[in-house]
Amino acid sequence: MSRLFVISGSSGVGKGTVIKEFLNKNPEYKLSISCTTRNMREGEIDGVNYFFLTKSEFEKCVKNGEFLEWAEFSGNCYGTKKEFVNKCLKNGENLILEIDTKGALNVKRIMPEAVLIFIAPPSLEELEARLRGRHTETEEAIQKRLASIKLEIENSKYFDYKIVNDTVENAVKNIENIIFNS
């Protein structure tokens, strides 16, 4: 039976790297592709990293009830299409959603069988350093992201599992333990 996992973590926590490594090792798991209104970053491809939508396209999907969940994050909208998730699960695929904690809790409400995993940073100082090290955002955007971290950690109280991203290798091992044994 196909299964649904939701992985969340504060911005800059390195969850993207951890998930990528997990997927390289376990190609039978598939990463969901979300919709977003944020600008495309260098190297990103429409339909691969995200489906990049305009604000009005996104709003139309919201109105039509096409999202399983959606949330505003750092001034941009992000959403998971019901159709995408349902198709994958119907096809027998094991799906991973990489979404924010608010979205994760909404998914759990609708699909209680989903397993929620939170990736925490080893320390807040380190997290701030990682965010700045990416050099992909303005100072204002970084400040916004730092402000949302508190909320993410607060929401993570309701998650099924929490792991600390001390090293990528350890974090991947912990995720494998959870996914294979839950």
- Closest chain position to ligand 5GP (CB): 103
Q: Identify the residue among 38, 82, 162, 173 touching ligand 5GP (CB under 6 A).
A: 38
Based on CB atoms, which residue is closest to ligand 5GP, 26 or 52?
Answer: 52
Based on CB atoms, which residue is closest to ligand 5GP, 103 or 121?
Answer: 103
Nearest approach, Cβ of 62 to ligand 5GP (angstroms)?
12
CB count in 10 Å sphere of residue 23: 15
DSSP 8-state assignment for residue 182: -
Cβ neighbourhood burial of 12 (10 Å; 0-12, 13-18, 19+): buried
Instruction: Tell me if 100 contacts ligand 5GP by CB under 6 A.
Output: yes
E-assigned strand segments in 67-114? 67-73, 76-81, 94-98
- Point out which span in 52-60, 96-104, 108-116, 121-129 binds ligand 5GP (CB under 6 A): 96-104
Nearest approach, Cβ of 69 to ligand 5GP (angstroms)?
6
Task: Give the residue among 135, 128, 139, 182 at the shortest CA–CA distance from 160.
Answer: 182
The CA–CA distances, whole Å, from 117 to 40, 55, 57, 133, 134 equal: 26, 29, 30, 25, 24
Strand pairing of 94-98 and 67-73? Answer: unpaired
Instruction: Tell me if 103 contacts ligand 5GP by CB under 6 A.
Output: yes
C-alpha 14: how far from chain center: 11
Q: Identify the residue among 58, 73, 84, 161 touching ligand 5GP (CB under 6 A).
A: 73
Instruction: Tell me if 99 contacts ligand 5GP by CB under 6 A.
Output: yes
Which residues of the shown chain bind ligand 5GP in the complex (CB under 6 A)? 11, 34, 38, 69, 71, 73, 78-80, 98-100, 103
